[in-house]
Amino acid sequence: MPDPDLDFASRRRAFLRTTVGALSAAAAATLGLPIVRALFVAPPASGVAWSRVGPVDALGAGSPLEMKFETLGEDAFLRTPELRSVWAVRSGAGNIEVYSPVCPHLGCHYLWNPGSGRFECPCHASVFALDGRVLSGPAPRPLDTLEHRVDAGVLYVRWTQFRAGVARKTAV
């Protein structure tokens, strides 16, 4: 006749062995998949993808419009949505210029002042013309333009962060 205590101990050991094996497999998959992805999945060729910003028919000639859009930020193997904005300006000739909303002086976000017809940085009082030129203040260079294109009436940009506080426009 089998010993009931021995049978119970045997089933308990089997249960613990299965549980530990399943937890070990889950931990290995959690830690191993990002490593496998980093080794075998190539990053995008351009490094920066085009982001859909919005329709250009909302742009009036000579009147800047702040347009918000979402990009996908990457930090190591984490991808998170990030809200961005740009200033888009249509000239009288119909050309569109897109500016980063970050002041090239120290990285504050500047605003359009419709009363003065200028971009003004609230942090250190840099003032920029509609075409991005520095009119006054400590900004070392004009507003940073972003690469953009219009496709079927929709504005697309390649979001780029530039180094603040230096005279030369340098991507970070």
Tens digits of residue pLDDT in 92-127: 788 999 999 999 999 999 999 999 999 999 999 999
Would you say 48 and 158 are in contact if contact means Cβ atoms under 8 Å apart?
yes
- 126: helix, coil or strand? coil
Reference 159, options 73, 89, 38, 54; nearest CA is 73
The pLDDT of residue 39: 80
Match 């075998």 to its residue by tokens. 40
How much is the average pLDDT of 73-77? 76
Check pLDDT > 90 for residue 45.
Answer: no
The reply to whether the predicted model has a pTM over 0.75 is no
Percent of the chain with pLDDT over 90: 68
The pLDDT of residue 43: 60
- Tokens representing 30 are 């959690």
Would you say 62 and 96 are in contact if contact means Cβ atoms under 8 Å apart?
no
* Neighbouring C-beta atoms of residue 85, cutoff 10 Å: 15
Check pLDDT > 60 for residue 38.
Answer: yes
Match 């940009």 to its residue by tokens. 157
Interatomic CA distance for residues 87 and 99, integer angstroms: 5
Residue type at 97? E
Torsional sign, CA 102, 106, 109, 114: negative
The pLDDT of residue 40: 79
